[in-house]
Amino acid sequence: MEPTEIILASLLFWILLTVINRLHPIKKKGLEVGIMYLMYKTKLFNKLIKSVADKNPRLWRVVSNIGVATALGLMVLAIYSLTRNIGLFLYSPEEAGPVSLLIPGVTIQLKWFPYLLIAISVAIITHELAHGISACIEKIPIKSAGIIIAFITFGGFVEPDEKRLDKAGIFSKLRVISAGCLSNLAVGLLIPLLVMGLYAPASGVLIIDLTKGGPAYNAGVKQWDIVYAINGINMSDLSGLDNFMSNVKPNDMLIVETSSGTKIMEAEASPENSSRGIMGVRCFDYYPPRLDLLDPSISYHLYLTLDWSFFIIINISIFNMLPLYPLDGDAYIFSVLKAYMKRDAKAARIVLSAVCLSLLALNVGLTLIRYGLTPI
């Protein structure tokens, strides 16, 4: 199913659900239906979180203390990275990195959307679960916990008792607030280890799409075939294929060794450059799965899911610690300000949020000026 079809199907589902809920309100206990979201609260999640926290409270307390220091480090990193990037945009633009809000179809291509949804869902669930465990360790009751489905993504939520949290000591607050970013960072850093465990180094080129009527298509190459060599030259990865094809001219004969046999084809002229020959394929590095149970198509989608999850979850763990309302970084710094500044805490909070919003806006604006709206 294409990403656009997923979005349209989801939109239709929410319209129908909204109409049904208006005509016959859904009043099942714990279930809440709103515009573009469905929430289910249950005490089972409260009990599950508490049971996890009660198994080894000393360990969780140590982890929570590490989280307080880690959160502060991530906050410094987030502010430093945005500030430094502005300097690079102004004085060395070729070294500056793009900073964009992820807007499907605008800043990110729709083909990446399913992987993005999975990554965000994993980030939300682990983030909220960590907040819940930390709250239990600090003896702060959980008012509600459950599952939420919003438009086309899903996740969990944990709602600590805000009054009890506000009355808690400064370090108890910081431990609860920091738990989410620490869990995201830990999960993000585990992903490369998982990738190394699941995949061997690249040893071929995977055909993920073909041009209908193109040389490869006419020669019998199929989607998910693996290219190992062309004209006797090994193709260990995509860069090797690109280097080889850069010297291929139209009408050159190509003998392509693939996972489905040897294919012989004649290169055709590229539509962008008539002096270059092409096969009419779209490719990706082939990382052989260490588990033979995974066929190339499943292996490819799993690899991209892990790749996007690493990128999204790590960035969420850093960005979320910006002292910018309503992020965790704002809650963290405001707790510290209230504990040590008393009267001027709210004013300082507003100033910090304004500074961070300006840093973010400048980065996004300079990215638009340099790169335009070309989606990744």
The string of pLDDT tens digits covering residues 198-237 is: 999 999 999 999 999 999 999 999 999 999 999 999 999 9
The string of pLDDT tens digits covering residues 320-361 is: 999 999 899 999 999 999 988 878 889 999 999 999 999 999
Least confident of 105-114, 126-135, 167-176, 324-333: 105-114
Instruction: Calculate the CA 242 to chain-centre distance.
Output: 28
Residue 11: partners with Cβ closer than 8 Å, 6 or more residues away? none
Enumerate the domain spans of the chain: 3-39, 41-199+303-371, 205-286
Residue 93: partners with Cβ closer than 8 Å, 6 or more residues away? 370
Percent of the chain with pLDDT over 70: 95
pTM of this prediction exceeds 0.75 = yes
3-state helix, strand, coil in the chain (%, to 5): 55, 15, 25
Tokens of 225: 């075939």
Tokens of 92: 């060395």
The string of pLDDT tens digits covering residues 54-78 is: 888 899 999 999 999 999 999 999 9
β-bridge pairing 142-150 and 37-41: antiparallel
Q: Which helix (H) or strand (E) holds 238?
A: helix 238-245
Question: Does 114 sit behind a cis peptide bond, omega within 30 degrees of 0 on the bond before it?
Answer: no
205-286 belongs to CATH 2.30.30.40: no
SS3 assignment, position 111: helix
Give, in order, the Cα–Cα distances in Å from 255 to each of 239, 249, 269.
Answer: 19, 14, 17
